[in-house]
Amino acid sequence: MRTALVIGSGPAAAGCILRLLDQPDLAITVIDVGARLPEANRARAEGLRASLPSQWLDADWRAVTAVAKAQNGEVLPEKSVLGSTYPFDNFGQMTGVSWEGGTHVKAISGALGGFSNVWGAQGYPFTKRALALWPDEGKTMASAYQDVVKVIPLAGRDDELATVLPLYGDLLELPPLAERSRRMLAASARSREKLQRKHLVAGAARVCFHANQCLSCGLCNSGCVWDLLFSTRQLFERWIAKGQIRYYSNTLAISISERPGGQPAVEAMTVDGAPKRFVADRIFVGAGAIGSTRIVLNSLPGIKRASLLETRQVIIPLWSRRPVPNPQAQPAFTVAQAAIMIAAGTPSEAFLQFYPYDPSFVGALPTLLSKSAAVRQLLVRHLSVGIVYLNSDQSPRLLVERAPAGGGGSQSAISLSGARLSLANRNVRRVLRSVLSASRTLDMWPLVPAAKVSPAGRSYHWGGSFPYSPEEGNDMVSDRFGRIKPWRKVHLIDAATFPTLAPTGFLLTVMANAHRIASESLGLDI
């Protein structure tokens, strides 16, 4: 029987395994840190599912809806899951990782499902422009997107946004939108041609969740008590329970070796430091773009550094002249409810995800304003937030460097760095002007002095350390199968292979590209 070893449990590993499971003569082994929600948090959530949030005890409400606070100059806080920050906690995978220049981003997740536990709900493909430099100009991604969408609960609408971000399957109906979102989408529909002249395309959000079961309790960004938001953790729990994969948790992949003509091997260790070794006919590396890059640096001494693309994040508070009813009294789902594609198909394309209200808005208000309940209630009737992602051409790169220490049986120490952007940056100014140009039409005025650009790495949308290239002879690129020199049976399957990054979300594209690589690698002789 043939054997395959997959490293990781995030979207890339899940997309790969979806394809590998079609092979009845293939035994699949997975190694992963695999941390899960602490049992106390899990038990509390399971106990609350039988009742409505209005019936919960105050202590349970506070524990489940705890909102993390921004620290160390962060623009947005790390998202908690039912009162726990476990997707960001260090279980050994972050040991030896340092950031230069004051940034403190938890770059590698040790959670089962990785960062899809907290950031994975948006379900958009990459843009046509971004895919133009991919294998076959991105044409092979269409079928991969279709296969992935079949196993993901994706809610949204077939609206104007589909003209620039195609649909690859049926959509569930979104739950009722907040009043602010309904007004904005109605205005965009009335002024479609006017917005097109400004190179703006608006539409309802596409969210990966079981929308038909949503209670609209407004607690999405604290973690869904009913586990309706999609995470690849859910797929892995199912595969493990059914015995479809052999799963080793509490395991860190350290380095990979491959001798010509032989089976590749992974040197690993448990989180307690015990060494382990795995061999397989093929190895698929999906530890996340930075996690996979670290494994490469630890495996190939000749490579000392790599640069990553990022889609830098800009947070824009928005003011509407017409107030809506108090959103605190009319809860709705609180992941993004709408989106605007900016300058689609151009080098300046960017993507705005629209949030009409979230409880964290109140915490972000200046202390003087947030002390008064009456003032808070007035402000949230006018405020909303747009989170804009620039494309990778418009964003500074991240640099990953291997420290001299490391190698062998221990993880290499790596340092990460990236230049900061300010509101004065021309690409940021261009986005702000685009949003401002639609303000009167959409009643959505950007509060430019309060806008902020996230520090390097904080978008969590990064990749391209070993990008796909049709050219041979470069040790820092990968082929269409995710292979870098000198490996022939080892495949990078996550965003580390992306030659470009679109400003849209990552989940669908990471899963689809890993699915494509797995599919094409099954036909290789070597």
- State the Cα angle at 146 between 145 and 150, rounded to 5°: 115
Q: Which pLDDT does position 64 carry in this prediction?
A: 85
**Per-residue model confidence (pLDDT) at position 408:** 46
- Cα-Cα-Cα-Cα torsion 26, 27, 33, 39, nearest 10 degrees, comes to 110
Q: What backbone phi and psi angles, to 5 degrees, belong to 3?
A: -130, 145
Residue 491 buriedness (CB in 10 A; 0-12 / 13-18 / 19+):
buried
Q: Give the DSSP per-residue string, 101-162.
A: TT-----S--BTTTTHHHH--B--PPPHHHHTTSGGGGTTHHHHHHHHHTTS-EE---SGGG
Whether 313 contacts 458, CB under 8 Å: yes
Q: What pLDDT shows up at residue 76?
A: 67
Please measure the distance between the N-terminal and C-terminal CA atoms of the chain and give it in whole angstroms.
16
* pLDDT of res. 369: 59
What is the model's pLDDT at position 407?
Answer: 45
Helices (H), 322-472: 360-364, 367-370, 373-380, 426-437, 439-442
User: In 249-342, where do the E strands start and end?
Assistant: 251-257, 265-270, 275-279, 282-285, 305-310, 313-319, 338-342
Can you give the pLDDT of all 526 residues of the chain as single tens digits? 899 999 999 999 999 999 999 999 999 999 999 999 999 999 999 999 999 888 999 999 888 887 655 555 555 677 889 999 999 999 999 999 999 877 788 999 999 999 999 976 899 999 999 999 999 999 999 999 999 999 999 999 999 999 999 999 999 999 999 999 999 999 999 999 999 999 999 999 999 999 999 999 988 888 899 999 999 999 999 999 999 999 999 999 999 999 988 899 999 999 999 999 999 999 999 999 999 999 999 999 999 999 999 999 999 999 999 999 999 888 899 899 999 999 999 999 999 999 999 877 766 666 655 667 788 888 889 999 999 999 999 999 999 999 865 444 588 899 999 999 999 999 999 999 999 999 999 999 999 999 999 999 999 999 999 999 998 778 899 999 999 999 999 999 999 999 999 999 999 999 999 999 999 999 887 6
What confidence score (pLDDT) does residue 62 get? 86
Q: What is the pLDDT of residue 197?
A: 95
Distances (CA, A) of 367 to 326, 445, 473: 20, 23, 57
- CA-wise closest residue to 493 among 475, 519, 472, 525: 519
Pairwise CA distance, residues 351 & 399, whole Å: 24
Q: How far apart are CA 188 and CA 442, in angstroms?
A: 7
Neighbours of 474 (CB within 10 A): 12
Q: Residue 192 contacts by C-beta under 8 Å, 6 or more apart in sequence?
A: 160
The ranges assigned to domains in the chain are 1-37+91-151+231-306+462-526
- How much is the pLDDT for 242? 97
Q: Residue 369 CB: number of other CB atoms within 10 A? A: 12
- The pLDDT, as a whole number, for residue 362 is 67
CA–CA dist 403, 394 (Å, integer)? 29
pLDDT for residue 67: 62
For CA atoms 255, 259, 264, 267, the dihedral sign is negative
CATH number for 1-37+91-151+231-306+462-526 (one of 3.50.50.60, 3.10.290.10, 3.40.50.12280, 3.30.70.360): it is: 3.50.50.60
Structure pTM? 0.95
